[in-house]
């Protein structure tokens, strides 16, 4: 029993010494990190955007002139669709079955590139309120401890301390809300881009399955 009391006392002393101010600094640092991730991802997605006309032109070239000319249309283009399209066209001679197997792998690889750093935003959005709540708990513990040893005239100062402790929860929510919103928006963008890429790859595969030249090459191989 004495050991438990001793441990409780040590933990209480540690919490009183720590206070809640460092939680606010931690949340500030996490919010700046989240802002940096948001800016980087927005810049990345803007650089990766390509007009739908480009891929329509690539498909039209594929039907009229073949994989080699369609590949030149997509050369040096940055986007998930362009990367997957180039990968499929480069392996057109291997046959539609081989291209289809490779398509799944390259789409997953590109998806991981698009989802980079999004886990940080999702984790921060889910846990920042709890970090803020922990800061509030630390602040209230200090305020209650001060209240136990204060006179009635000092009660107002203690209540002000409790109000300051609640700030940590508010800051935690302020950090979490933009992180969750950005995570949801970016995840939706990745899903939309992946769906468009799947459609583009299926259109290439449809050509390869019906093209006499690629079918003949596959049989010879």
In this predicted model, what pLDDT tens digit does every residue of 77-106 receive, in sequence order?
889 999 999 999 988 888 888 888 888 899
Question: Between residues 66 and 158, which one has the greater pLDDT?
Answer: 66
**How buried is residue 207: exposed, middle or buried, by Cβ count under 10 Å (0-12/13-18/19+)?**
buried
In this prediction, what percent of the chain has a pLDDT beyond 90? 48
Q: What is the pLDDT of residue 51?
A: 87
Q: What is the pLDDT of residue 218?
A: 39
In this prediction, what percent of the chain has a pLDDT beyond 70? 79
Q: What is the pLDDT of residue 134?
A: 84
Q: What is the pLDDT of residue 100?
A: 86
Average pLDDT, the chain: 83
- Of 145, 143, 135, 148, nearest in space to 162 by CA: 143
Q: What is the pLDDT of residue 106?
A: 92
DSSP 8-state symbol, 74: T
Q: What is the pLDDT of residue 109?
A: 92
Digit-coded pLDDT (tens) for 129-174: 999 888 888 888 777 766 666 555 566 666 766 777 788 889 999 9
What is the rounded (10 degree) CA torsion for 145, 150, 153, 155? 10
Q: What pTM was computed for the model?
A: 0.81
Q: What is the pLDDT of residue 181?
A: 96
Q: Could you give the CA distance from residue 67 to residue 91 in angstroms, rounded to a whole number? A: 9
Q: What is the DSSP string of the chain?
A: -HHHHHHHHHHHHHHHHHTTHHHHHHHHHHHHHHHHHHHHHHHHHHHH---HHHHHHHHHHHHHH-HHHHHHHTTT--SHHHHHHHHHHHTGGG-HHHHHHHHHHHHHHHHHHHTTTHHHHHHHHHHHHHHHHHHHHHHHHHHHHHHHT--GGGHHHHHHHHHHHHHHHHHHHHHHHHHHHHHHHHHHHHHHHHHHHHHHHHHHHHHHHH-HHHHHHHHH-
pLDDT level of residue 216 (50, 70, 90 thresholds): very low
């Amino acid at each position: 029993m004495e050991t438990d009391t001793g441990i409780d006392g040590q933990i209480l002393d540690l919490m009183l010494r720590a206070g809640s101010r460092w939680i606010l600094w931690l949340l500030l640092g996490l919010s700046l990190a989240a802002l940096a991730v948001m800016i980087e991802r927005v810049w990345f997605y803007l650089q990766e955007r390509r007009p739908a006309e480009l891929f329509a032109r690539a498909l039209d070239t594929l039907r009229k002139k073949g994989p080699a000319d369609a590949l030149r249309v997509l050369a040096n283009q940055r986007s998930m669709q362009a990367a997957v399209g180039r990968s499929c066209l480069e392996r057109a001679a291997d046959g539609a079955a081989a291209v289809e197997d490779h398509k799944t792998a390259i789409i997953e690889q590109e998806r991981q590139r698009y989802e980079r750093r999004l886990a940080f935003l999702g984790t921060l959005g889910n846990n920042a309120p709890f970090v803020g709540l922990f800061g509030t708990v630390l602040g209230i513990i200090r305020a209650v401890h001060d209240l136990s040893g204060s006179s009635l005239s000092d009660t107002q100062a203690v209540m002000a301390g409790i109000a300051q402790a609640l700030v940590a929860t508010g800051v935690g929510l302020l950090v979490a809300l933009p992180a969750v919103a950005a995570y949801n928006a970016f995840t939706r963008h990745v899903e939309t881009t992946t769906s468009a890429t799947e459609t583009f790859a299926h259109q290439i595969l449809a050509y390869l399955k019906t093209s006499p030249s690629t079918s003949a090459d596959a049989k010879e191989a």
